[in-house]
């Protein structure tokens, strides 16, 4: 279980309509770790290029042109792991305080069962990440239980599942998509796939 705590009140980047992304858990940079996120038209929307090693202590989330939008830092000295996210504005961190904080819990789910991650973020809103037995598939719910985002293995139109590293991310309207993308990055780091 992990918790995300809002620590600043940055303006939100809210999705006005339902959006579907393809998340490829590979970097476009040769011999690099990360992920590439494509919009519904097949264009690169976001990317993470981790030039260091898998599960790096410092990861940058960028738009298609390479402009840094979010920096995620793993903090040491915590037994179960802690990550802090910082928003960028004009190539610099908006504030010195983190925008959100994720803390991994010591609670281990039983095999074949789901687990939950509690999220508190952005202007006091609360979310819950529900993960299934497959560590790459999960949904994000708001405090009212409404699903605001869901990530699962991508399938072709005929229902054939693509590789385990190709996922579909569905964002519902009125959601801060930068926060959701930050959660996708943190979940990738927690699961040691990025």
Which domains does the chain carry?
A: 2-190 (2.40.160.200)
What confidence score (pLDDT) does residue 94 get?
Answer: 64
Both tokens of 188, joined, read 């990738």
Measured distance CA(65)–CA(35) in Å, rounded: 15
> What is the radius of gyration, based on Cα positions, of the chain?
16
Q: What is the pLDDT along the chain (194 residues), one digit of tens a residue?
A: 344 434 443 444 777 889 999 999 887 776 667 889 999 999 999 998 776 666 678 888 999 888 999 988 888 755 566 788 888 876 666 667 778 777 765 555 554 445 566 555 655 667 777 876 666 788 888 888 899 999 999 988 898 888 888 999 999 998 888 888 888 888 888 777 77
Which H or E element spans position 98? Answer: none
Q: From 27, 49, 28, 45, select the one nearest 37 (Cα to Cα).
A: 45
Both tokens of 3, joined, read 């918790």
What confidence score (pLDDT) does residue 185 get?
Answer: 86
- For the question of whether the overall pTM of this predicted structure is more than 0.85, the answer is no
Give me the count of residues in the chain.
Answer: 194
What confidence score (pLDDT) does residue 58 get?
Answer: 85
What confidence score (pLDDT) does residue 124 get?
Answer: 65
What confidence score (pLDDT) does residue 76 get?
Answer: 72
């Amino acid at each position: 279980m992990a918790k995300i705590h809002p620590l600043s009140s940055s303006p939100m980047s809210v999705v006005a309509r339902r959006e579907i992304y393809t998340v490829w858990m590979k970097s476009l940079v040769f011999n690099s770790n990360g992920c590439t996120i494509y919009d519904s038209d097949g264009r690169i929307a976001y990317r993470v290029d981790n030039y260091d090693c898998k599960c790096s202590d410092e990861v940058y989330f960028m738009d298609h042109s390479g402009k840094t939008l979010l920096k995620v830092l793993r903090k040491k000295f915590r037994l179960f792991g802690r990550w802090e996210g910082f928003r960028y504005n004009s190539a610099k961190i908006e504030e010195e305080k983190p925008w959100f904080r994720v803390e991994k819990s010591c609670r281990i789910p039983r095999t074949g069962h789901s687990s939950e991650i509690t999220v508190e973020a952005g202007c006091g809103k609360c979310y819950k990440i529900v993960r299934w037995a497959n560590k790459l598939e999960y949904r994000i719910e708001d405090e009212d239980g409404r699903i605001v985002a869901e990530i699962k293995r991508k399938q072709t139109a005929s229902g054939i599942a693509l590789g385990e590293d190709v996922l579909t991310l569905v964002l519902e309207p009125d959601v801060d998509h930068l926060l959701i993308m930050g959660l996708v990055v943190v979940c990738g780091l927690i699961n040691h796939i990025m």
